[in-house]
Structure 1
Amino acid sequence: MSAVITVVGLGSGNPDRLTLGIIKTLQGAAKAYVRTLSHPVVAYLQETGILLESFDHVYESHETFSEVYEYIASSLTAAASAQEGEIVYAVPGHPMVAEATVRLLRERCPGLGIQLNVLGGESFLDEAFVRLGFDPIEGFQLLDASGLSGHLVQPQLHILIGQVYDGFTASEVKLALMDVYPDDYKVIVGHALGVEGEETILRIPLYELDRVEGYGNLSLIYVPRSEEESLRRRSFARLHEIVGVLRSPEGCPWDREQTHESIRKNLIEETYEVLETIDEDDPEHMQEELGDLLLQILLHSQMEEELGTFTVYDVIGTLNDKLIFRHPHVFGENSAKDAEDALQNWEQMKAEEKRRKGLTPEASSVLDGVPRDLPALMKAYKLQKKAAKVGFDWEDLSGVFDKIEEEISELKDAVKQNLPQQEQALELGDLLFAVSNAARFIGADPEAALSATNAKFVTRFRYIENQLAARGADIREASLEDMEALWQEAKRHNGSSEV
């Protein structure tokens, strides 16, 4: 006779709700196990003469629930293989609702040649729908209290949270829900729903969730659904929805008329505004500007969604795949002892991506991958870095300085000879390119260095303006000597090095 395990559900706690079939199955078992004796129905079954062996002791000898469930599943499969006749395993509620041991059995039994039967039982969901008074067809979400995070919560759905075994778990649930709901949002705690003499239903503000007593195997938390706009305002889905409305026929006329080309410059402008908040170390302003930058990404994605090419969720999916693929030292089997190792992994995976697309990295230019429209100084810096990787570089900084002096001399000659303006500009470009190399050798970002100098210049020049204004003078009428004196004063005033 083949090994057989039959799993039965003990229901939500009321013995009257047990089916006759489940009782007969337990009575006819060669061996009957129960995950825990801490269930109202167990006492009734024992009174009828059914012998049950529990796994309660396992919870005390293991540190995590996953270890407990692993032990139970292994014990049951071993017992079934050794036992003549059917063994029965009883679990609280319904076997297919929030029951990890049954999931493990379903995965393993086929490979072990064990026949697995599952008999339903009343789930705690059945009692929840009745006792809490909501219809799941309106939209319903069942979540596990262990490992709950705010991003899983959808306020527009009725939410039931199970596995709330103790006050600590309730506290973790509270913190997760507070990422979405206000602290005083009304939630419901239910203990032993449908069990006569034991049922408790409490409606409390969210912040009191971990102050409730009585959490255990038969506890749950219910969060009623809500269409309040305030609860969705922080969700990405709501942002996507808003941008879709703005671009719809009933939306904003200006937004509807925009194209990739018409708002192209906005993407660059918003990026620089974010950079400004970083330079100013202004988190509040940064939050706002990052939002403006994100809007540009949403608008461009929405335009493509309207054409049926891709959506912003495709953008996110591609990015997720790329991040995982290019970090094998985090998500794979590679290792990286420092940032340099991590960067090498990144470059290797980029090359592998090209191969998978049918491209040959070895056949491409070393300079490939530098965006065409980068600001010129930043682009020069990146081009030089790529060239240096294959040895096209000076040996040390002295060679760079010699090149800078050479380019200064050529620029002077071009001006002295009164060459055409275009040729003079080319000589100026050569000089700037050489200076960018100096930045690379001293480990400075030339774009950031020039930005810092621009900021320093603005500060000092405004000092001149303010000092002249305090004297009742207009800078447009001030002499160069007066401005130079104030410039030197500004340098002493802020202690900065020379511009």
Structure 2
Amino acid sequence: MGITITGLGPGNFKHITLETWELLTGNNPVLLRTAKHPCVETLKARGVPFTSFDYLYDQAGDFAGLYQEIAAAVIEKAKQGQDIVYVVPGSPLVAEKTVELISLQAKAAGIELTIVPAMSFLEVLYTRLGIDPITGVTIVDAADLALLPPDLATGLIVTQVYSRQVASDAKLTLMDYYGDEYQVTVVRHLGLPEEQIINTMLFELDRLNGIDHLTSVYVPPRPVSTKVFSLDPVVDVMARLRSPGGCVWDIEQTHLSLRRYIVEEVYEVLEAIELADGVKLCEELGDLLLQIVFHARVAEESGGFTMQDVIDSVTEKMIRRHPHVFGGITVRDAAEVVVNWEKIKKREKAGEREKVLDGVPIGLPALMTAYKLQSKAAKVGFDWQEIGPVWDKVAEELAELKEAAALPAAERCLRMEDELGDVLFAIVNLARFMGIDAEIALNHTNNKFRRRFDHIETSLKQQNKRWEDVNLADLDGLWEEAKKKEVKS
């Protein structure tokens, strides 16, 4: 007993190979997976006897169960002791699930199996569309599109697009990969007189007429960027550092112990931006990224989340909060973008933030915290309408600080601290009205002070002078010199 499997080719009778024809006209029973194939009428006309499994299609609940039934029936026929010929549409080893199942079951049952090559629709498709498969092509059943890798770089051939519903499901999946208006090619009845090759956009895929069991879709490869990057190297390094036998210090770290480092890296990034130093900015962004990878690794080890979860989460958020780019919303200007962003954010956080000032992180620098508190209060109307009263408030708080400084020593200290805080809070409010981030502004001034003071110190060393050798007027002169140097640069 044995099973020989072959194929009827892509459609036209002339595509049946001579070897297949000899099998079809031999003495062994011929079993067709389906008689719904363009050349079957020719087989009938030439007196080729066969039976088909079309009766199973009508009662099948799904294709997975159907293919299992067909494979089981073929194996059962073979077990009766006669050699049989099982024939599929196209080629036996191109998108044929029953052949895969029969191969497994025949081996388990000790049945001899022979697979005869046949022409598939792919050869016709390659020729019609001018595709050389050596450049890379991925072939997938429409039912398995969800299994495609997100970074697929090859062209894609989607088979078994046999109905408008299947085309609709395929369209929705593919639009997530390629976008709504990506150009694809729909091929129908390749190699037959009624052959059709239609170029269309993805969103129109299920609107085409005549979609049937001889329909496939070709999706050309996406343009490849000149440089592909991956987070894998730094993720792998961190995994190695945290693994047994890795770095003792890295292994001991927790989310809490790492807090200070991520803050430090943020400020070093800001410094690089202030200096307009591209090389330094690249390095500092790498250090900041390392901290993010570090936290993700710590979380992954405890079953919390992974680096991929971090990337997926922020990607989904950006798409969700930019409906004017990824959806059908239209905006007039950047101000409306901000308004939409806040509305979407408010919906997302519904139930999490019950009070107006909820959502301001506790660990932020004080100036940044003041800015965020004022901004949140302003959203509900607790704010001045113009900048004039803000200037008055700054003057008022400065006057109160002067008054506190004049108090007796016993009560002066606490009052001055309190009033100085009010002055700073008012200054932050003034900066907000001017569209300036007070935290960044002060950081800019800190860096400026550092540069000018470094100039003074370097100048003294060049003159072989010590700090005690010069007076304040001398130092002030060097300070002015540093300012002029900055202006020139």
Structure 2 length normalisation: TM-score? 0.58
Is residue 487 from structure 1 mapped to residue 482 from structure 2 by the alignment? no
Residue number in structure 2 paired with 1:438: 430
Closer, same or farther in 2 for the Cα pair 1:280/1:484, shift >3 Å?
closer
Q: Does 2:467 correspond to 1:467? A: no
Aligned mates of 1:39, 1:447 — CA distance in 2: 59
Q: Which amino acid aligns with 1:308?
A: G
**1:69 maps to what in 2?**
185
Judged with a 3 Å threshold, the aligned counterparts in structure 2 of structure 1 residues 251 and 488 are, in CA distance, closer, same or farther, namely: closer
* 2: CA distance, partners of 1:259 / 1:374: 19
Is 1:255 matched with 2:250?
Answer: yes
Q: Secondary structure at the match of 2:185?
A: helix
Inter-CA distance 18–241: structure 2 relative to 1 (3 Å threshold)? farther
Determine which of 334, 359, 371 is the counterpart of 1:369. Answer: 359
Name the structure 1 match of 2:405: 415
Please, which of 434, 439, 442 is the counterpart of residue 450 of structure 1? 442
Give the counterpart of 1:149 among 196, 214, 224: 224
CA distance in 1, matches of 2:295, 2:400: 45
Residues 236, 91 of structure 1: CA spacing in aligned structure 2 closer, same or farther, 3 A cutoff?
farther
Instruction: Say whether residues 1:308 and 2:303 are aligned partners.
Output: yes
1:284 deviates by 2.0
Paired position in structure 2 for 1:323: 318
Contact 1:10/1:91, CA 8 A, preserved across alignment? no
Q: What's the counterpart of residue 380 of structure 2?
A: 390
Which residue identity is paired with 1:302? R
Shift of 1:342: 0.9
Q: Unmatched 5+ residue regions in structure 2?
A: 1-6, 25-36, 46-120, 131-180
Corresponding residue number in structure 1 for 2:213: 116
Counterpart secondary structure, 1:336: coil
RMSD: 4.4
Partner of 1:265: 260
1:288 lines up with 2:404 in the alignment: no
Distance 1:254 1:16, change over 3 A: farther
CA-to-aligned-CA distance 1:19-52 (integer Å, 9 cap, x gap)? 447995595699xx96686699xxxxxxxxxxxx
Give the aligned residue type for 1:413. E
Query: Are the counterparts in 2 of residues 9 and 91 from structure 1 also a CA contact under 8 Å?
Result: no
CA distance in 1, matches of 2:318, 2:398: 44
1:429 equivalent among 394, 406, 421: 421
What residue is the counterpart of 2:239 in the other structure? 244
**Secondary structure of the corresponding residue to residue 213 of structure 2:** strand
The answer to whether structure 1 residue 404 and structure 2 residue 375 are counterparts is: no
Mapped partners of 1:17, 1:66: distance in 2: 41
> 3-state DSSP class of the match of 2:349?
helix
- Closer, same or farther in 2 for the Cα pair 1:35/1:90, shift >3 Å? farther
Distance 1:319 1:244 in 2: 22
The answer to whether the 8 A contact 2:184-2:219 is kept is: no
- Mapped contact 1:246–1:256 kept (Cα < 8 A): yes
What residue is the counterpart of 2:342 in the other structure?
347
Asked whether the equivalents of residues 243 and 302 of structure 1 are also in contact (C-alpha less than 8 Å), the reply is yes
Displacement of 1:460 after TM fit?
A: 2.7
Distance 1:117 1:35, change over 3 A: closer
| 1:173-252 correspondence to structure 2 within 5 Å | 175=226, 179=227, 234-252=229-247
Deviation string, structure 1 residues 262-291 (Cα, Å, up to 9, x no partner): 111111111111111111222222222111
What is the TM-score normalised by the length of structure 1? Answer: 0.57
1:478–1:388 Cα change, 3 Å: same
CA distance in 1, matches of 2:436, 2:293: 33
Runs of 5+ in structure 1 lacking a partner? 1-5, 41-64, 78-86, 93-98, 120-142, 151-174, 181-233
- 1:477 to 1:67, Cα distance in 2 relative to 1, 3 A: closer
Match of 1:149, as an amino acid? V
Residue 326 of structure 1, CA deviation: 1.1
Distance in 2, Cα, partners of 1:260 & 1:381: 26
Check 1:490–1:313 CA distance in 2 against 1; reply closer, same or farther (3 A cut): closer
Q: Is the Cα contact below 8 Å between 1:35 and 1:91 reproduced in 2?
A: no
Q: What's the CA shift string for 1:395-447, capped at 9, x where partnerless?
A: 43332222222211221222221225333211111111111112122222212
Q: Give, in whole Å, the separation in 2 of the partners of 1:147 and 1:427.
A: 61
Q: What is the number of equivalent residue pairs in this alignment? A: 335
More off after superposition, 436-445 vs 341-350: 436-445
**Offset at residue 9 of structure 1 (A):** 3.6
**Does the 8 A contact of 2:185 with 2:219 survive in 1?**
no
Letter in 2 for 1:147: R
- Distance in 2, matches of 1:325 and 1:296, equals 26
Change (3 A) 1:146 1:266: same
CA distance in 2, matches of 1:384, 1:66: 45
- The structure with the larger Rg is 2
Amino acid at match of 1:470: Q
Separation in 2, partners of 1:435, 1:264: 28
CA contact under 8 A between 2:265 and 2:284: conserved in structure 1? yes
Aligned CA distance change for structure 1 residues 383 and 36 (closer, same or farther; 3 Å): closer
Give the alignment of 1:34-45 within 5 angstroms: none
1:274 aligned residue (260, 269, 291): 269
Per-residue deviation, residues 72-109 of structure 1 (Å, max 9, x unmatched): 54xx69xxxxxxxxx787899xxxxxx999x99x9789
Contact 1:377/1:436 (<8 A) preserved: yes
SS at 2:295's partner residue? helix
C-alpha contact 1:8 1:118 (8 A) present in aligned 2? no
Task: Say whether the 8 Å CA contact 1:326–1:350 is kept in structure 2.
Answer: yes
Name the CA distance, whole Å, in 2 between partners of 1:66 and 1:350.
30
1:69 aligned counterpart, secondary structure: strand
1-structure distance, mates of 2:392, 2:272: 37
Q: Deviations over 1:118-150 (max 9, x none)?
A: 99xxxxxxxxxxxxxxxxxxxxxxx97631436
The verdict on how the C-alpha distance between 1:17 and 1:344 changes in structure 2, with shifts beyond 3 A counting, is farther
Contact 1:8 1:90 (C-alpha < 8 Å) held by counterparts: no
Check the 8 A contact 1:410/1:427 in 2, yes or no. yes
SS at match of 1:259: coil
